[in-house]
Amino acid sequence: MTYWLSIVVATPAHSSVAGALTYASEWPLAPGTLVRVPLGRREVLGVVWEVLPDSGDLLPAQARAVLGALDGLAPLSATWRRLVAFTASYYQRSIGEVALAALPPQLRALSTVQLARRLKRPVAAAPDTPDTTDLIALSPEQERAIAEFDADTRPALLFGATGSGKTEVYLRAAASVLAQDASAQVLVMVPEINLTPQLQARFEERFAHLGKAQVVALHSGLTPAQRLKSWLAAHAGQARLVLGTRMAIFASLPNLRLIVVDEEHDPSYKQQEGARYSARDLAVYRAMLESSTNSSSSIAAPSFSAGAAEPAPPGRRRSAPPGGSEPHEVGSVGAMSCRVLLGSATPSLESWQATVAGRYQRLTMSERIGAADLHGSLPTVRLVDMNHQPKHCTIAPPLLDAIAQRIARGEQSLIFLNRRGYAPVLACHDCGWKSECPHCSAFRVFHKMDRTLRCHHCGFTERVPRACPGCGNIDIAPLGKGTERLEEHIAELLVGVTRPDGSPLHNSVRIARIDADTTRLKGALESQLASVHAREVDVLVGTQMIAKGHDFRHITLVAAINPDGALFSSDFRAPERLFGLLMQAAGRAGRDAERGEASEMWVQTFHPQHPLFGALKKHDYPAFAAQELKEREAAGMSPFGFSALVRAEAREQAVAQGFLNAAAETAQAQQLPGAEAVTPYPAVPMTIQRVANIERAQMLVESSSRAALQRFLAAWQPLLHQTRQEGDFKGLIRWAIDVDPLAI
C-alpha cells in the first residue's frame, strides 16, 4: 500500500519550491516524523507535515519515495508544528526554511544509522539527591511579585530595577514549576550567552541537584555535537531546564510549562538573517499554544500579531486572515498550562503598552536588594554639559577627578563608549583622503593594536599605510575615538594625578578594555570578567558588552562618554534603545549595598536639557515610556501602527530600487487584499547602501491594521516573484521581507 505524505524540506522563500512537497511512502508515518527524502540530486532531511488522502495532481509515476524515517526519534509535536507554521506565515518565509533551521545542523546531516548509534549512547541518570540549596530570604517586593504571578494567567512582565532581584524570581518560578510536575520543562531565554554569564552560572548552580543531563544549554556557541546532544535531551523530555538564546524558542520541549525571557527588550531577540522572527513575541505565542487544552482549536495570537489568522497547512493556498477581527483576550483560552515571564529594567515599549492595555500582567520591583528606598539605592545621575568644558575635551575634568577619587578609595569605575577600535576614521588633512572601504559605503576603522584598517561590515582589512595614498603626506591622523583610543587616553590623563596623601596615582592604576576585539579568543571574556570581580582592575573601558547583564559588585561610578548621536537619529527606536542602554549601564554601579548610596552615573552630553536625560536623572522609565508612546501614537508608529520592510540587493542601486518600485506599482494597480489600508513608500538606499560591493535598497510598508498588512504581504509575495522573473532586473541578487523591523 502507498501512503501519500506532505513533507517540508529546507527551501528558501524566494525559491520556486517554497511549499511542502508530496512524497510516497511504503510505511504509515505520523505527522512530525523526521525522514530522509530525495530533493533533486541530494538526499535531505524533511518533516512529515500531514498525511494526504491521495496524490492530488501528482501522477503516481512522478512521485518520489521517502528513503527512510529517523527511527527511535519521537515525532515533533503538533504544537511545535503549529508554532513553525505560524512563524513562516507571519514573517513571510518558507515553512520548510523555518522548520529545518529550527533543527540542529548535525541532525540534518545524520543518516538513520548514525542517529541510531547516538540514541543508543547511555544517558547519565539524574542523581537521587534532594535540593539542599540554601535559599536567600526574599524581599517583600519579590514575594509580592511571585504571589501575583502565581495568581494570574496572562503573560507577565517583570519590571524590576537593576539589582532588584529579578533573577531570584526567575529561579523561584522555575523551581516551583519543576517541583509541581516531575515531567515539566522550563525554557529560560537570554539575549546573548556571552553577555549573561552570571545568569547562566546561577541557574546551573541552583539546579545542580537535577544533574547535568537535565540542565542543558542551547545556543550557537556550542559545537554541533553539543547542540545535538542538548536538543535530543530536550526533545526526549530528559532535560528539565533549557537555557538558550533566541534559537531556543524552537526547541522541541514536549512538556513545556514555563518560558522566561530575560532582558526582553534586547534587540538580539530579533533574528536579522533568513526568517526575521522575534523570539520574544514567539515566546508569548508558544505559551498560548502550549496552554491550549485542545491543540486543534483556534487560538488567539498575542499582542504582536493581533488580527493575524492561524496559518493554513503547507502546500495548500493560504486564505487571507479575516479583516478587522479583534483578538481574543489571552486569558480566555482556558487554564494556562504554560506561562511566560518577561523581565527587564527597561521593557520594550510594545510590552509596556501591552501592560497598559491589560493584555499583559505587570509585576513591579522598584527597590534594589538591601536598599531602603528607590532614590537611595540607584546611582545618582550627573549630567556634564560639554558646552561648558574645554574644547575637544574627551573626558571632562570633573569626571576625571571623580574617577581619580574612586581609584584612591579602592573602588572601580566603568567607562562606556559604544564604538570599538582606536578611531572610526583615518584621514589626511592635506588632500581630504579618508579610510573609506573600497567595497562598502562606510569607513574602515583604525585599530592601533595590530596597525590595521578594518571594515566592520565586510571584514576587509589592510595594514595602515605609511603615507597618504592620495598625496603621499606622512601626517595622516585618526578622527574620533573608539574604546581602544579611550583606554589609552584615560591612562595618559591619570598620569600626574595624586592620592590624598600626595603619592602619585598612575603607578598603580590598572585599566582594562572589554569589547569584541579583546574577547575574540575562547575564554577571553571569562578571564577578563574574573579580573574585574577579583578587583584587579581600577577602570574598565568597553562597549555595550559591559553595560548590561553583569553583576559588578565593586563598581561605584559609570560614565557614558558620547551618547548624543542617538538623540537625533532617523530611526524612531533610537531614543528607546539609548535610554535602555544608559539605564542598564547605570545599573552596573552600586550593586553592593554598602556602596550603593555613593554610586554615580555620569553622562557627558551637549544637550543636557533633552527630556530623555530628565527621565534618566530620576530613573523614571514610566515617564519616559509615557512620553515616547504619546509621540508614537500621534505618528502611528509601533505599537500603534504596523510596518514591514522589503529589502532588495543588487549589483546596482538603480536595479534594487527599480525592482521594489515596480513591485509596489503592480500591487497598487491590482488592488491586492488589504491594499486600501496599506501605504508603501518609495524605495530608498539603506543607511549603509553598499556592503561587499552589493547595493542595498529598502521600501517601508505601513498600515494602521496588522491584519490588513498581513493580507497585503501574503498576496504580494507571488507578485514579487513575478516581477523578478518578468522584469529587466538581471542584476538583482535577492529580496526579503522583514515584518516588525527593529531598525528603519
Residue 440 among known ligand-binding residues: yes
Q: Residue 562's closest CA among 739, 436, 418?
A: 418
Closest of 81, 125, 132 to residue 103, by C-alpha? 81
DSSP 422: S
C-beta of residue 161 within 8 angstroms of C-beta of residue 378: yes
CB atoms under 10 Å from CB of 685, counted, come to 15
Residue 468 labelled as part of a binding site: yes
Nearest to 643 by CA among 705, 574, 558: 705
CB 513 within 8 A of CB 541: yes
Q: Contact, 720 vs 472, CB < 8 A?
A: no
Can you tell me the distance from the alpha carbon of 249 to that of 502, in angstroms, rounded to the nearest whole number?
58
The answer to whether the Cα torsion of 480, 485, 490, 495 is positive or negative is negative
The CA-atom distances, in angstroms, between 248 and each of 194, 262, 270, 507 are: 15, 13, 13, 48
Which residues, in sequence order, are CB contacts of 300 under 8 Å at separation 6+? 288, 327, 328, 329, 330, 332, 333
- Is 455 annotated to bind ligand? yes
338 annotated among ligand-binding-site residues: no
Q: Which of 254, 196, 193, 238 is nearest to 219 (CA)?
A: 193
DSSP three-state, residue 393: coil
The residues pairing with 68 across neighbouring beta strands, listed in sequence order, are: 36
Exposed, middle or buried: residue 501 (CB in 10 Å: 0-12, 13-18, 19+)?
exposed
Query: Which grid coordinates belong to 7?
Result: 513533507
Q: Determine whether 425 is exposed, middle or buried from the number of CB atoms within 10 Å of its CB (0-12, 13-18, 19+).
A: middle
Binding residues: 428, 431, 437, 440, 455, 458, 468, 471
Which residue numbers belong to the known binding site for Zn(2+)? Answer: 428, 431, 437, 440, 455, 458, 468, 471
